Homo-oligomer: A and B are copies of this chain.
Amino acid sequence: MEKRAFGYWFAAATEIVPGTRYHYMLDGNGNVRPDPASRFQPGGVHGPSAVVNPLSFRWTDEWWRGLPLEEMIIYELHVGSATPEGTFRSLIHRLDYLLDLGVNTLELMPVAQFPGSRNWGYDGVYPYAPQNSYGGPEGLKTLVNACHSKGLAVILDVVYNHLGPEGNYLSEFGPYFTDRYHTPWGAAVNFDGSWSDEVRNYFVNNAVYWAEEFHIDGLRLDAVHGTFDFSARHILSEIAESVHSFADKLGRHIYVIAESDLNDARIITPVNGGGYGLDAQWNDDFHHCLHVLLTGERSGYYADFNDSGQLEKAYAEGFVYSGQHSAYRNRRHGNSSKGLPGSRFVVFSQNHDQVGNRALGDRLSVSVTPEKLRLAAAAVILAPFLPLIFMGEEYGEVAPFLYFVSHSDPELVEAVRDGRKKEFASFGWTSEIADPQAEATFLKSKLSPELYRTKGHALLHHYYRELITIRKRELSLSAAGGVECDTYSSAGGRLIALLRSRADEMSICVFNFDECGHKYAAEIPGGEWKLVLDSASPEWGGRIGSAPPSFRVSDRPFEIPVEAMSAVVYSRRIEVF
């Protein structure tokens, strides 16, 4: 190969057909390594790379422009465990089910080639190569094309803060890593040191690559608190700008969404306001408030959360920790996200981390009552944010989502086992945990394909469908620009009301996280209010459902009855004179 500037090497080869295997020899000793920018690793992380023709796939989605951010209703899934086959193609058969549910955006946990065939995806080491056991690049393109044909957008989870330990040969190619910063997951990526420009390009180009060659509609950047960059241009900003430029050029909607533990509003503040210009971020604070209200758990990071109005603050402002002292972190945490649009936040009552990083990988469905499941669903799906549902949540899946790997290095396997034990110890969880390396652990985590049709599960499934229908139908319940969300709370913060309006519609959602029924004294405009939802109604398996089908506000405050652990929603038209 011919050495070029900035550490690149070049060779031109002719008569190469797609599928041709290749690798690089970095020294004269015959040691060969896969291509760091490999598009396909048919034999896994240690085998040769395969040539892919990026132009050969027959896309049929030329018309597709993506979805407006504020319309997204996200369904997070893990390709390997979402279907019995665990492949991209097998997911296509699930799309009608998802369309029927009403979600419009699939979010795939990371698919970059990882060691073996079982992994959450955060051990990926070939950021450009869709996992061989999932079906490789052809499989992913087929899935995305099928999604678009049904009007579904696809978000991909990508990992730019580290690369997995096994099969990671990058440091033999160049200064991809640095020892200036430490991450909990492995060597930090060199985003700001010597020769960092080309390392940055490797990841920035990767972000655009998914949009360009796979027609992906958005990226979820894993744990951006691990992307250490002290340079004058933050790598997150560069990624967002590059993706947005590409999207603008094509007239498509493509989003960059962060997972962030920083509670730093700069990440989702526009560039002209001094921010990094990402489109949205996950709001873990919202989850933690909700989880504590539902379960009373107070171990680990839940120690920072309680029932005294934090969830109301999350609805009103986004971050709960906006500079307050955090007992879990032993320091002040966060800045204020007040004033940012609701569409800057993704919210959820469950996700792969919040379920899977529990010792037993247990879902809410096996630990709380159906009443609480319905309340949690309403609190998320009717929030002025972007709701995210974790696969199976919508019918109360009972299978756990456990942590699983299939490494080939025994030392690494031991290290993973030890690491999990230590993590759980910090939550005070000491119960026997499933062996991450065992295939059984993976198999236990697979969704139960037909469970949603069975009795109680079917009721919950219908309820989720109804919530999504309501969110889409009632203008005032979307996360669209111009949402106004006034929040109120009583019962010591356990009774929360959101008053929202948009165009000529107005709604009030009352969430009662108290074990007692309450009457919410509503300071709401006069007029005829109609019941939109009562989660305690027998229709959904509730016992009573005492919310009146409609009421007229003349004597204020009007008192809305709300059962214990339930949600009611009313809406009205605003008379325009």
Chain A contacts to B: CB under 8 angstroms: 179-182, 192-197, 225, 228, 230-233, 262-266, 269, 273-275, 323, 325, 329-335
**Out of B194, B230, B269, B333, which one reaches A330, CB within 8 Å?**
B194
Cβ contact within 8 Å between A323 and B262: no
- Complex-state Cα separation, A552 to B388, whole angstroms: 74
Question: CB-CB < 8 A to A269: which residues of B?
Answer: 274
Distance in angstroms from A563 CB to nearest chain B CB is 39
Contacting pair B273 A323 (CB below 8 A) = no
Q: Which chain B residues lie closer than 8 Å to A225 at the CB level?
A: 230
Closest to A238 in B: B332
Cβ distance A236 to chain B, nearest Cβ, rounded Å: 12
Complex: how many Å from CA A269 to CA B274?
A: 9
Partner of A275, one of B274, B330, B333: B274
User: A75 CB to closest chain B CB, in angstroms?
Assistant: 30
User: Would you give 8 A-B contacts (Cβ < 8 Å), ordered by A?
Assistant: A180-B182, A192-B331, A194-B329, A196-B331, A231-B262, A231-B332, A232-B265, A232-B323
Within the complex, the shortest CB–CB distance from A194 to chain B, in Å, comes to 4
Q: Which residues of B contact A230 (CB under 8 A)?
A: 225, 228, 262
Q: How far is the CA of A228 from the CA of B325 in the complex (A)?
A: 20
Tell me how far the C-beta of A336 lies from the nearest C-beta in chain B, rounded to whole angstroms.
9
When chains A and B are docked, how far (Å) is the Cα of A182 from the Cα of B262? 21
Query: Is B193 a contact of A262 with CB atoms below 8 Å?
Result: no
Complex: how many Å from CA A233 to CA B334? 7
Cross-chain contact of A331 among B195, B273, B275 (Cβ < 8 A):
B195
Q: Is the CB of A335 within 8 A of B233?
A: yes
CB distance from A542 to the nearest CB of B (A): 41
| A333 CB contacts on chain B under 8 angstroms | 231-232
Q: In the complex the two chains form, what is the Cα distance from A174 to B263 in whole Å?
A: 26
Closest 10 pairs between A and B when the two form their complex, measured CB to CB: A274-B274, A232-B264, A232-B335, A194-B330, A196-B331, A232-B334, A195-B330, A197-B331, A180-B182, A197-B332
Which residues does chain B contribute within 8 Å of A232, judged by CB atoms? 262-266, 323, 333-335
Tell me which residues across on chain B come within 8 A of A330, comparing CB atoms: 194-195
Chain B residues lying within 8 Å of A228, measured Cβ to Cβ, are 230
Task: Specify which chain B residues have a CB less than 8 angstroms from the CB of A334 in the assembled complex.
Answer: 232
Closest chain-B Cβ to A282's Cβ sits at a distance in Å of 15
Q: What residue in chain B is nearest A332 (Cβ atoms)?
A: B197
Given A180-B181, A181-B181, residue A233 in contact with residue B197 (CB < 8 A):
no
Among residues of B, the one whose C-beta sits closest to the C-beta of A270 is B274
Closest residue of chain B to A192 (Cβ to Cβ) is B331
A196 to B325, CA, bound (A): 11
Of all chain B residues, the one with the shortest Cβ separation from A198 is: B331
Nearest B residue (CB) for A330: B194
A194 to B263, CA, bound (A): 16
Q: How far is the CB of A536 from chain B (nearest CB, A)?
A: 39
Known: A181-B181, A274-B269, A275-B274. A193 touches B331 (CB 8 A): yes
Residues in B whose Cβ lies below 8 Å from that of A274: 266, 269, 273-275
Task: Tell me which residues across on chain B come within 8 A of A233, comparing CB atoms.
Answer: 323, 332, 335
Bound-complex Cα distance A232 to B334 (A): 5
**A378 to nearest B CB, angstroms?**
30
Q: Complex formed: what's the CA distance from A329 to B232 in Å?
A: 13
Q: Which of B180, B193, B325, B335 contacts A197 (CB 8 A)?
A: B325
In the complex, what distance in Å separates the CA atom of A332 from the CA atom of B194? 9
The complex places the Cα of A390 from the Cα of B76 at a distance, in Å, of 61
Considering the chains assembled together, what is the distance between the CA atoms of A262 and B232 in angstroms?
Answer: 6
